[in-house]
Copies of this chain bind each other. A is one copy, B any other.
Amino acid sequence: MRAVVLHSHGGPEVLAIEEVAAPVPGPDEVVVQVAATALNRADVLQRMGLYPDPRRIQPEIPGLEFAGTVVEVGARVALWALGDRVMGIEAGGAYAERIATHERLLLRVPDQIDLVAAAAIPEVFLTAWDALVLQGGLTSGRWALVHAGASGVGTAAIQIAKAIGARIAVTCSSGKSEACRALGADAVFDRSPHDWLAEARAAVPQGFDTILDVIGGEEIDRNLQAVATRGTIVQVGLMGGSSSQVNVGVLLTKRVTWVGTTLRARPIEEKAAVCRRFAAEMLPLFTTGALRPVVDSVYPFDQIADAHRHMEANANTGKIVVTIN
A261 engages B252 (CB within 8 Å): yes
Q: Shortest distance in angstroms between A221's beta carbon and chain B's nearest beta carbon?
A: 9
* Contact code string A252-277 (vs B, CB < 8 Å = 1, else 0): 11111111111001100000000000
Cβ–Cβ contact B258 & A262, under 8 A: no
- B259 x A256 contact (CB < 8 A): yes
CB atoms of B237 and A244 under 8 A apart = no
Q: How far is the CA of A93 from the CA of B179 in the complex (A)?
A: 55
Partner of A258, one of B237, B243, B247, B259: B259
- Alpha-carbon separation in the docked complex, A253 to B247 (Å): 21
B255 touches A260 (CB 8 A): yes
Q: Is A245 in the interface zone, CB < 8 Å from B?
A: yes
Is A160 on the interface with B (CB-CB < 8 A)? no
Known interface pairs A237-B252, A262-B253, A262-B255; A246-B243 also in contact (CB < 8 Å)? yes
Query: Which residues of A line the B interface, CB within 8 A?
Result: 216, 220, 235-238, 242-262, 265-266
Q: Identify 14 residue pairs between A and B in the complex whose beta-carbon atoms are under 8 Å apart, listed by A's number.
A: A220-B248, A237-B252, A238-B248, A238-B249, A238-B252, A243-B247, A243-B248, A244-B245, A244-B246, A244-B248, A251-B260, A255-B261, A255-B266, A258-B259
